Structure 1
Amino acid sequence: MNGLGESSAEQMLSHANVQRFPSSRLDLFIRRDFLDVRQCAQLIELIESNHRPSTIADYNGDDAFRTSSTCDLSTDQPVVAELAGALSRLSGIDPVYAEPLQGQRYEVGQEFKAHTDYFEPGSTDFDKYCSVAGQRTWTFMIYLNAVEAGGATRFRVIDKVIQPETGKLIAWNNRRPDGTPNAATLHHAMKVRKGFKYVITQWYRERPWA
């Protein structure tokens, strides 16, 4: 396992069926069928049973900036523990660097406008979120269903739009090679036009989470 919440392109590409998006601007990877239909259905059921309005760090005054719901997922649930282990094996990152897994739920019209996952250095809440576990390093996100319409993830800087597919994982490094936050990771969870969208997100940190 790697220290400092760190994965690498070599680590990711050592696994079968992992594809790297060709870009010099950021490290972005896609792995279809990371979860099977059974696992996705179980995770959707957990999200439906206990979700709350999503929040953001450094509130920007836009109440419509993030309109999804969020569910905290406990590894006391076997399917969650199984997923956490699978993500650690894929990333090569020790689970102690992982934030608790979260599920997100989007209804028609809901979105998360263009944002980055790292905490902005110098921002009001930077010390609050980074003083213990440090900055976010990698993001791993898994679509749990194929959305009837809408709900894609758009990386604006590289002009890449990723469509939701059941069990598909996308992952990216939130930093540049020199370790500074990478603004090219800006991404937009686009509005759901029909049906629902469910995703799982795993963020890793520079230092142990707890």
Structure 2
Amino acid sequence: MKRDVGSDTTAERLRLHPGIQRVPSPKLDLFVLRDFLDGPECAALRALIDANRRPSTLADDQGIARFRTSETCDLDPGQQLVANIRQRLSGLTGIAVSHAEPLQGQRYSVGQEFKPHTDTFNPDGADYFLHCAEAGQRNWTAMIYLNEPGEGGATRFKAIGKTIQPEAGKLIMWSNLLADGSPNMATLHQGMKVRRGTKYVLTQWYRQNPYG
């Protein structure tokens, strides 16, 4: 199995970036950067999500009821704000925009959640070849909170005992793969239920190879 050299390079680049915090764990590379987006940017993105949302779907649906109950918005890469964010993330990570999936927004209302999951595709799944034959696995995830809900909505990484609270403009990033290129199960995480208010996030997934 091919070594995921790109993930090593990205992790080192993030470690050296001013203001970034690395969550101390030997099990995965997880980074936090506050104020990646400002208030007006977050507000504009929330409005885009509200205007274009649809029920979220699953790539590897295991048939578990209400596993992912959020709504999703596929953001138009032709819009200047969306294009700017993709370029800024690429500049931060050193990962070319050509390796990025389309930027998505998610909206969670009261009671909605995303149960524990990883962002990689199951190598034993029926659709693995369909998802990964050309672009490869999702080797990095970038997620940006666009607001703070009234209560709940944290992101929990159970394997390392880390819970990250939503905060407008905060970026979290993690590597999804082990050094040998296989999925890192320590990245298992969940979007916990929103108890009050609404939660908005952006998600940018990166692939090992150019996407699409």
Query: The TM-score by the shorter chain falls in which range?
Result: over 0.9
- Provide the C-alpha distance between the structure 2 equivalents of 1:173 and 1:183, rounded to a whole number of angstroms: 11
Say whether the 8 Å CA contact 1:5–1:205 is kept in structure 2. no
Q: Deviations over 1:173-193 (max 9, x none)?
A: 001122211000000100000
Aligned twin of 2:15: 13
- What number of residue pairs does the alignment pair up? 208
Which residue of 103, 108, 111 corresponds with 2:110? 108
Unaligned runs of 5+ in 1: none
Partner secondary structure for residue 193 of structure 1? strand
Aligned twin of 1:167: 169
Partner secondary structure for residue 110 of structure 1? coil
Partner secondary structure for residue 161 of structure 1? strand
Which residue of 26, 29, 42 corresponds with 1:27? 29
Say whether the 8 Å CA contact 1:5–1:94 is kept in structure 2. no
- Provide the C-alpha distance between the structure 2 equivalents of 1:8 and 1:43, rounded to a whole number of angstroms: 26
The alignment-based identity, stated in percent, is 57
Is the aligned partner of 1:80 residue 2:85? no
State the Cα distance separating 1:145 from its structure 2 match: 0.2
State the Cα distance separating 1:206 from its structure 2 match: 1.0
Q: Give matches, 1:195-210, under 5 Å.
A: 195-210=197-212
Unaligned runs of 5+ in 2: none
Partner secondary structure for residue 159 of structure 2? coil
With over 3 angstroms needed to count, the CA separation of the structure-2 counterparts of 1:4 and 1:77, relative to structure 1, is farther
The structure with more helix, counted as a fraction of residues: 2
Q: Give matches, 1:46-195, under 5 Å.
A: 46-195=48-197
Q: TM-score, normalised by structure 2?
A: 0.95
Say whether the 8 Å CA contact 2:99–2:207 is kept in structure 1. yes
Q: Deviations over 1:69-117 (max 9, x none)?
A: 0000112111101100110011100100000000000000000000000
Say whether the 8 Å CA contact 2:116–2:191 is kept in structure 1. yes
Give the superposed CA RMSD: 1.3
User: Partner amino acid for 1:136?
Assistant: R
Say whether the 8 Å CA contact 1:5–1:97 is kept in structure 2. no
Q: TM-score, normalised by structure 1?
A: 0.96
